[in-house]
Structure 1
Amino acid sequence: MKKLILQMQMSVDGFVGAAGDHRWQLWEWGDDSAWDEELKRDFNAVFAGIDTILLSRKMAEEGYLTHWGNAAKRYPRDPFYAFAQRIVEARKVVPSDRLKASRWEGTTVVSGDLPREVDLLKRGEGATSRCSAAPASPRR
């Protein structure tokens, strides 16, 4: 059975989500993220062994997939951005009862019983029923 790894950002004081005038993350999806080399190494370590990303609808809609796809194109030979290419190459699954189809390349939308879907993914099966996926474009 596959492992399920939770990867999330949290501030030192435990802030993890949007509330009032606080954004849910400390940087937006632009190019001005001041990541240091240690943080990039950490992300490379986390993403080196993944094959599937389970992603919230809100994160997908707010730009996660577009941002890292653009970073992979912008820094194709930069070893500190290898994780961006892994995000592009990995299978992405977005659980949502609101979305009926994926707007993102290589991404499948699933709906219904989320615990069951996660269990199927861990077994190496899920994200094949009750879903619609955007086709992957051919690689050049």
Structure 2
Amino acid sequence: MTRLGVAAVLTTAATLGITATPAFAACGSKCDGKNPASYTYLDTSVGGPGATVLCQTDAKRPSVSGKVYKKLANPNLGENSAYVELRYSPTCRTAWARTNAYQWTVYVVSYNANGSYRTQAEQVTNSTVKWSAMVNDAGMKAKACLVVPVSEPDLCTDLY
């Protein structure tokens, strides 16, 4: 497609109110703090001008040797089925925490490749499941945590 053709497509998209935020591997810190249920990227892998897709669309629980899903082991806290899990979007290259313990706080912690602390993102809530905002996970590590009340330590997954 020529530059004139690209300009025509972009002008038409803007006129129609179509917007997308590119993420891909270059999303970087632009993904930090964004809601995985509403932050979009432009998927050009299907050819043509692409389609706007939510970062949560291809989210999964990573398959690794460590534990990226943990269930609360203390039934005395009244949340004996509470869990925290790390979610990962391979397309956006982002990570976030998710839990079903909607009355407790969930967060995700991001670490640089050398293991030093980078940032953390707090929760975004709906009525039955709670998740954190995203953090960039391209070449980095992340863990999901749930703040457990009383004197229990936070329930955290292993790093991914």
Shorter chain as denominator, the TM-score bin is under 0.3
Relative to its length, the structure with more helix (as a share) is: 1
Relative to its length, the structure with more strand (as a share) is: 2
Structure 1 length-normalised TM = 0.26
